[in-house]
Amino acid sequence: MVRETHCLSSSTFRDDGYLLTLTGMPHALTDLEVRTVTKPTDQAGHELTADVCVIGAGIAGLSAAVESARLGRSVVLVDALPVLGGQMVNSLIGLFCGVFSNAPQHRQLTHGIFDDIFRDLGASGDLFYKRTHTTTVGYDEVALGRWVEDTVLAHGIQAVTGAVITGVTRDDGRLHAVRLATRYGTLDVRAAGFVDASGDAALAWEAGLPCRLPDREIYGSQQLVVERLAESGRPEPAELADRVAQKAEQYGLRRHDGLAFFFPGRDTAVLNMTHIEAPLEPVAAARAQLDGKVQADRVVEFLRAEFPEAFAKAKVRSYGFPGRRQTRWVQAVHQLTVDEVRAGTRFPDAVARTAWPIELHDSPQGYVWETFGPDHLHYVPLRSMTPPDVHNLLVAGRCVDGDAAALSSVRVMGPCGAMGAAAAHVLQMTAAPSGSGSVHDVDRAELAERLSHNLEDAAG
Ligand SMILES: Cc1cc2nc3c(=O)[nH]c(=O)nc-3n(C[C@H](O)[C@H](O)[C@H](O)COP(=O)(O)OP(=O)(O)OC[C@H]3O[C@@H](n4cnc5c(N)ncnc54)[C@H](O)[C@@H]3O)c2cc1C
């Protein structure tokens, strides 16, 4: 007689202890032998080799990895988190900024990976466009997270998640390998070229290269997604900002301004209303993460009480991983300056452009917000992505070289994605045997041609 069991939906036990599997083959449970093992003293670590090793799977690293794969290169994409997508997905950023020019033209400035995201998430209804002084693009972070995973798989990119850099092999002006610690042991990745898209310049730092630190804190934020919002009574941005400014102390809010990105037609919003430290020291970083959650909960209390029509039933759907804006970044051949940003300097080695304002979060209560005119564009030169003393390393994303204010205007996702794509092309163009072997010696005209979709407007 067959006895049903509640813990195995597709298999059943017979009275004699045999398990009947879907294949119909009986197995005695005691057939599954168990060994006792101890860690061998001479156990070799794991190894991978690729053309390109990208550290950091946020928008910059993902763009670098996908573009490299499309150029026919083998790629290892590493991230310390157990998931891909960086802050874009896991810190619940929720809005692509810096991809479009200012009003009234709203031209798309950066293409590549954004064209793919906008097409696919647009088709599934997981995206919305918001027109203000520029166009920003909101997204569902769950859908985007799955899109990133599918895209990495489809391009044959070898992802290594949950892996933190512990060492770098560097000599003769080149990086040769990174050593990573994972919960399953160490992994060495050898590559011909490297991209530091870690946001904290983790690869450059471990390689012993000079890095920059701001003299005072530049705050990050604990983002959150709330759900069960009513359609009516949602405050306009100015109304929300005014109310926070008036009531922040009453509710114990550190930040005296805030933004809510409501997803049209859904009952959710991303809240960007806290300011947290972003330390580079492990104990302080863990502490800041917990403090951020306390601030986030106060924000929800504030919204429930002050805007009950929309928020009375609000619940937290998810808290992001701590959001870090500007922490540690590289010293490169050129430090982008705020004067160059304001002047819209077009460099001969420009690789990315944006119109995003200066957005420097350097006080607990608020941030500097300096917008630009309708025709304004500013650029990132390749030289801000290349530390001087290495020939096969590019830095991309929020840890390229700039003064604090300049960096604040190019660290949003649009230009970060463009920098990632540029890094892929430079590594391919300079790769041996036909290339110069140095990222400092690249044919600028050819690079500009390859990146023209991110630097020039399409004719007509
Ligand atoms: C709170 C907040 C709100 C923001 N709002 C917006 C917005 O609305 N729109 C917008 O466009 N931009 C916004 N930004 C800026 C933007 O989100 C980031 O600057 C951008 O996502 C950075 O992308 P990235 O790829 O350079 O770095 P990240 O997304 O930070 O990715 C770096 C990756 O590297 C990994 N890493 C770090 N160190 C190591 C290591 N030692 N070993 C292995 N891996 C490592 C990290 O785990 C991470 O996944 C915001 C930023 C913050 C913090």
Mean pLDDT of 291-313: 98
How much is the pLDDT for 284? 97
What is the side-by-side order of every strand in the sheet holding 95-96? 95-96, 135-139, 127-131
Under the banding of pLDDT at 50, 70 and 90, the label for residue 108 is very high
The rounded Å distance from CA 412 to ligand 1 centre is 9
**Separation between Cα atoms, residue 204 and residue 212, nearest integer Å:** 11
> In angstroms, what CA-CA distances link 276 with 61, 91, 166, 417?
24, 13, 26, 25
How much is the pLDDT for 4? 38
Ligand 1 atom at shortest distance from the alpha carbon of 88? 21
191: Cβ–Cβ under 8 A, 6 or more apart, which residues? 49, 50, 51, 52, 53, 76, 175, 177
Cβ atoms of 161 and 83 within 8 Å: the answer is: yes
Token pair of 400 as six digits:
């390229």
Mean pLDDT of 52-61: 98
Residue 232 DSSP code = T
CB 260 near ligand 1, within 6 Å: no
Query: Best of 83, 90, 93, 409 to mutate for ligand 1, by most ligand atoms within 8 A of CB?
Result: 93
Q: Minimum mean pLDDT among 218-232, 234-248, 280-294, 446-460: which range?
A: 446-460
The helix or strand, by DSSP H or E, that contains position 300, with its residue range, turns out to be helix 282-306
Mean pLDDT of 346-352: 98
Q: Minimum mean pLDDT among 3-7, 170-174, 381-385: which range?
A: 3-7
Query: How many CB atoms sit inside 10 A of residue 377's CB?
Result: 16
pLDDT over threshold 90, residue 266? yes
CB 273 near ligand 1, within 6 Å: no
Q: Minimum mean pLDDT among 19-23, 129-133, 285-289, 305-309: which range?
A: 19-23
**Separation between Cα atoms, residue 394 and residue 155, nearest integer Å:** 21
What pLDDT digit, counting tens, does each position of 424-434 carry? 999 999 998 99
Query: Best of 380, 412, 419 to mutate for ligand 1, by most ligand atoms within 8 A of CB?
Result: 412
Per DSSP, the chain holds a count of helices (H) and strands (E) of: 13, 24
Mean pLDDT of 325-337: 98
How much is the pLDDT for 6? 41
The closest residue, in CA terms, to atom 37 on ligand 1 is 198
How much is the pLDDT for 376? 98
How much is the pLDDT for 30? 77
Alpha helices in 124-274 (DSSP H): 141-154, 202-206, 237-251
Under the banding of pLDDT at 50, 70 and 90, the label for residue 41 is confident
Query: Best of 398, 400, 408, 419 to mutate for ligand 1, by most ligand atoms within 8 A of CB?
Result: 398
pLDDT over threshold 60, residue 416? yes
Residue (of 383, 432, 374, 380) closest to 406 by Cα position: 380
Residue (of 170, 166, 192, 169) closest to 390 by Cα position: 170
Ligand 1 atom at shortest distance from the alpha carbon of 278? 53
Give the position of tokens 């110069």: 436
Cβ atoms of 233 and 309 within 8 Å: the answer is: yes
Query: How many CB atoms sit inside 10 A of residue 3's CB?
Result: 8
How much is the pLDDT for 426? 98
CB 98 near ligand 1, within 6 Å: yes
- Mean of all residue pLDDT scores within the chain: 94
Cβ atoms of 396 and 179 within 8 Å: the answer is: no
Mean pLDDT of 72-90: 98
Instruction: Give the pTM.
Output: 0.94
**Separation between Cα atoms, residue 112 and residue 66, nearest integer Å:** 10
> In angstroms, what CA-CA distances link 235 with 232, 238, 239?
9, 8, 6
The helix or strand, by DSSP H or E, that contains position 449, with its residue range, turns out to be helix 444-450
The rounded Å distance from CA 302 to ligand 1 centre is 27
CB 195 near ligand 1, within 6 Å: no
CB 419 near ligand 1, within 6 Å: no
pLDDT over threshold 60, residue 151? yes
Under the banding of pLDDT at 50, 70 and 90, the label for residue 412 is very high
pLDDT over threshold 80, residue 11? no
Residue (of 399, 388, 441, 435) closest to 173 by Cα position: 388
Specify the length of the chain in residues.
460
Handedness of CA 186, 190, 195, 200 (dihedral sign): positive
Residue (of 303, 310, 309, 317) closest to 240 by Cα position: 303
Alpha helices in 71-128 (DSSP H): 86-90, 113-123
Cβ atoms of 163 and 80 within 8 Å: the answer is: yes
CB 361 near ligand 1, within 6 Å: no
Q: Minimum mean pLDDT among 12-26, 202-216, 390-404: which range?
A: 12-26
Q: Give the rounded distance of the alpha carbon of 427 from its chain centre.
A: 21
Under the banding of pLDDT at 50, 70 and 90, the label for residue 195 is very high
182 phi and psi, to 5 degrees? -130, 170
Residue (of 244, 196, 162) closest to 54 by Cα position: 196
228 phi and psi, to 5 degrees? 65, 40
Residue (of 376, 384, 386, 380) closest to 353 by Cα position: 380
Mean pLDDT of 94-117: 98
Q: Decide: helix, strand or coil at residue 438.
A: coil
CB 285 near ligand 1, within 6 Å: no
What pLDDT digit, counting tens, does each position of 378-411 carry? 999 999 999 998 999 999 999 999 999 999 999 9
pLDDT over threshold 90, residue 216? yes
**Separation between Cα atoms, residue 335 and residue 128, nearest integer Å:** 35
Alpha helices in 378-442 (DSSP H): 404-410, 413-430
Q: Which residues pair with 161 in a beta bridge?
A: 79
Under the banding of pLDDT at 50, 70 and 90, the label for residue 15 is low
**Separation between Cα atoms, residue 447 and residue 350, nearest integer Å:** 9
> In angstroms, what CA-CA distances link 207 with 42, 174, 202, 389, 445?
27, 10, 8, 11, 31
Token pair of 414 as six digits:
């649009």
Higher pLDDT, 283 or 27: 283
Under the banding of pLDDT at 50, 70 and 90, the label for residue 50 is very high
CB 415 near ligand 1, within 6 Å: no
The rounded Å distance from CA 252 to ligand 1 centre is 27
The rounded Å distance from CA 90 to ligand 1 centre is 9
How much is the pLDDT for 43? 80
